[in-house]
Amino acid sequence: MISLGAITAVLALISLAIPDRVSFEGLIALMGLLFVVSPWVMGFSTGFTAFAWTAWIVGAVSLVAGAADVQLTRTAHRGHGVVTG
């Protein structure tokens, strides 16, 4: 969990520093998916419910934020920020 959190934080900081790279937003969404799946893969979804809930909540927030940022970045690149009528 600490490793996933550290990697997600580094990816988020890189995404803020270099906002024109779509791949970093996609990786943040992927990290969110890994957070959501991790309680079952690592086997702590039954015994340690606080850890599991933390992973699911952080994963859902990361997944939604990363997916929304990917969509915003694609929309901005597709139209180059210009609204055509």
**Which one-letter DSSP state was computed for residue 83?**
-
Least confident range from 11-15, 45-49, 57-61, 76-80: namely 76-80
Burial letters 15-50, b for 16+ CB under 10 A, else e: beeeeeeeebbbbbbbbbebbbebbeeeebbeeeee
Residue 62: inside a domain, yes or no? yes
Residue 85: inside a domain, yes or no? no
pLDDT tens column, 20-63: 665 677 888 889 999 999 988 888 767 778 888 888 999 999 99
| Mutual angle of helices 49-79 and 2-17, in 10-degree steps | 20
Q: Record the pTM.
A: 0.74
Find the domain containing 31 and state its range: 2-79
Q: How many structural domains comprise the chain?
A: 1
Residue 84: inside a domain, yes or no? no
